[in-house]
Amino acid sequence: MDLQLAGKRALVTGSSSGLGEEIARLLAAEGAAVVVHGRDEARTTAVAKSIREAGGEAGVATGDLGTDEGADKVAAEALGAGPLDILVNNAGVYQPTATWDSTSPGEWADIYNINVVSSVRMIQRVVPGMRDRGWGRVIQISSVTGHLPQPSQPHYAASNAARNNLAISLARDLKHSGVTSNAVAAGGILVPAVRESLTHMGKQNGWGDTWEQIEPNLVEALSPNDVGRIGRPRDFAGLVAYLAGPRSEYITGTTVRIDGGWYDA
């Protein structure tokens, strides 16, 4: 299917690695001009260079979205080559070992600033231009923990619920404008660092010696789902690419869960 992204310009925040990088690569492969964002200039530039070497169009915007000044810098660099049609708010952090007892109120505020307010900063700087032009796509990347919070990482789950809520509120504000707003609630994402740590965990728990042995046992123990595996970055990027294009014009104000049918054990 032609997703009709040719001629569109997209900013993907937090795209110097992980899921954001995969989203940027897929949007570029589908014909969009992408702006790769990160805080590390060398790593961000390397991703953009790799996209260009693969035949795509990619620019760079660097800065810390946790501050107004950083968001101003990122917006200026992203908009410098032209208006943006697509904003993918992917930047965020998580702390796998965080618990109710170990997480201070200050840490709750910090993760809310990074995972929620950073998205607000970029929306306020990018979306007015979309509204003026009468077309645009805003996509929040969140986690399924916003729907199914667990005992661990309570502040992370709460921030993802806020991201989902933000996307719906924005859609109401953008009604009849030609700009849509949605959230993608992702299940577990198997990036290299996660695979390494989970392989170590699996061996410690006797779930197997190889990743092929460990994965189904790990999924059953920690995040049971109907597919029986952990999501790969391309699984999520494909949905984002669809939502980013004209073919998704009748989808707005919703959170799409993509988690293999994960259920709360």
Nearest residue to 86 (alpha-carbon basis) of 50, 145, 137, 40: 137
| Average pLDDT score over residue span 12-31 | 97
Bridge partners (DSSP) listed for residue 136: 179
Question: Which of 94, 156, 242, 250 is flagged as catalytic?
Answer: 156
Q: Which helix or strand (DSSP H or E) is residue 213 part of?
A: helix 211-222
Q: What are phi and psi of 261, to 5 degrees?
A: 80, 35
> Residue 264 above 80 pLDDT?
no
First CA to last CA across the chain, in angstroms?
A: 36
170-194 pLDDT per residue, tens: 999 999 999 999 999 999 899 888 8
Average pLDDT, whole number, for the chain?
A: 95
| Average pLDDT score over residue span 66-77 | 98
The widest CA-to-CA distance across the chain, in whole angstroms, is 57
Q: For every residue of 39-83, which 3-state class applies, written as one string?
A: CCHHHHHHHHHHHHHCCCEEEEEECCCCCHHHHHHHHHHHHCCCC
| Average pLDDT score over residue span 67-75 | 98
> Residue 265 above 60 pLDDT?
no
Burial of 18 (C-beta count, 10 Å sphere; 0-12/13-18/19+): middle
115 secondary structure, DSSP code: I
| Average pLDDT score over residue span 98-106 | 94
> Residue 150 above 70 pLDDT?
yes
> Residue 13 above 80 pLDDT?
yes
**Is 156 designated active site?**
yes
213-224 pLDDT per residue, tens: 999 999 999 889
